Amino acid sequence: MIPTNYNIKKILEENSFRRSRLAAKYNPLTGEGSVAIPRRRVQIGNYAQGELGFLYIPQDMIDEEENIQDLIACGSVRNYIARINDIRPEAVPDNEVAQTIIEFCKIRMEYDFEYWAYTCIRIKDKVTGKDVPFRLNFAQRARLLPALENQRRADKPIRIILLKARQWGGSTLTQLYMLWIQMIHRTGWNSVIAAHKKSGSRTIRGMVTKAINYYPQDLFGKFSLARWENSNSTSIIEGRNNKITIGTAQVPDSVRSEDIAMAHLSEVAYWQEAEKIKPEDLIASIAGSVLRIPYSLVVLESTANGTGNFFYNEWNLASEGKSDKTPVFVPWFEIEIYSENVSNYEELINSFDDYHWDLWEMGASLEAIQWWMNKRKEMRGAGIEKMYAEYPSNPTEAFVSTGRPVFNWRDCENMKSDCEEPRLIGFLQGDASEGKDALKNLRFVKNPDGELLVWNIPQPIPKIRNRYIVSMDIGGRSDSADYSVIAVFDRANLQTGGKDELVAQWRGHIDHDLLCWIAAQIATWYCNALLVIESNTLESNADTDGDHTEYILDTIADIYPNLYDRQDPERIRKGLPAKWGFHTNSKTKTSLIDHEIKMYRTHGYIEHYEPAIQEHLDYEKIPNGKRFVYAAKQGKHDDMLMTRAIAVYVSHFDMPLPSMLPEYSTLRHASGQMSTI
For residue 28, what pLDDT is reported?
A: 97
Q: How far is CA 461 from CA 374, 505, 617, 663, 674, in A?
A: 58, 22, 37, 10, 19
Q: How confident is the model at residue 664 (pLDDT cuts 50, 70, 90)?
A: very low
- Give the angle subtended at the CA of 206 by the CAs of 200 and 212, to the nearest 5°: 140
Tell me if 253 sits within 8 A of 277, measured CB to CB. Answer: no
In percent, the amount of the chain with pLDDT more than 90 equals 58
Q: What is the pTM of this model?
A: 0.76
3 state SS of 40: strand
Where does 47-182 have alpha helices with state H? 59-64, 66-74, 77-85, 94-111, 113-120, 138-139, 145-153, 170-180
Q: How confident is the model at residue 551 (pLDDT cuts 50, 70, 90)?
A: low
Closest CA to 649 of 580, 610, 599: 599
For residue 670, what pLDDT is reported?
A: 41
Closest CA to 242 of 178, 291, 158: 178
For residue 671, what pLDDT is reported?
A: 38
Cα–Cα distance for residue pair 554/538, rounded to 1 Å: 12
For residue 401, what pLDDT is reported?
A: 64
For residue 402, what pLDDT is reported?
A: 63
3 state SS of 215: coil
Q: Give 174 or 636, the one with higher predicted confidence.
A: 174
Q: How confident is the model at residue 332 (pLDDT cuts 50, 70, 90)?
A: very high
pLDDT above 60: residue 117 = yes
pLDDT above 80: residue 672 = no
| 620-652 per-position pLDDT tens digit | 887 777 677 888 877 788 999 999 999 999 999
Backbone angles phi, psi at 109, to 5 degrees: -65, -25
pLDDT above 80: residue 540 = no
Strand segments (E) across 1-38: none
pLDDT above 60: residue 370 = yes
* Partners of residue 446 on adjacent β-strands: 426
3 state SS of 274: strand
Q: How confident is the model at residue 549 (pLDDT cuts 50, 70, 90)?
A: low
Cα–Cα distance for residue pair 612/623, rounded to 1 Å: 24
Tell me if 72 sits within 8 A of 42, measured CB to CB. Answer: yes
For residue 630, what pLDDT is reported?
A: 86
Cα–Cα distance for residue pair 560/519, rounded to 1 Å: 10
For residue 232, what pLDDT is reported?
A: 78
| 202-255 per-position pLDDT tens digit | 777 788 888 888 898 888 888 888 888 888 788 899 989 999 988 877 666 656
pLDDT above 70: residue 543 = no
For residue 426, what pLDDT is reported?
A: 97
For residue 242, what pLDDT is reported?
A: 93
Average pLDDT score over the chain: 87
In percent, the amount of the chain with pLDDT more than 70 equals 90
| 119-168 per-position pLDDT tens digit | 999 988 877 888 899 999 999 999 999 999 999 999 999 999 999 877 78
| 267-305 per-position pLDDT tens digit | 888 887 665 677 788 888 888 889 999 999 999 999 888
For residue 252, what pLDDT is reported?
A: 62
Q: List, in order, residues 6 or more apart from 79 with CB less than 8 Å away.
A: 45, 89
Specify the range with the lowest mean pLDDT, choosing from 33-37, 55-59, 386-390. 386-390
Q: How confident is the model at residue 568 (pLDDT cuts 50, 70, 90)?
A: low
Backbone angles phi, psi at 72, to 5 degrees: -65, -40
| 65-110 per-position pLDDT tens digit | 999 999 999 999 999 999 999 999 999 999 999 999 999 999 999 9
- Which burial class, exposed, middle or buried, applies to 343 when counting CB atoms under 10 A from its CB (0-12, 13-18, 19+)? exposed
Where does 416-511 have alpha helices with state H? none
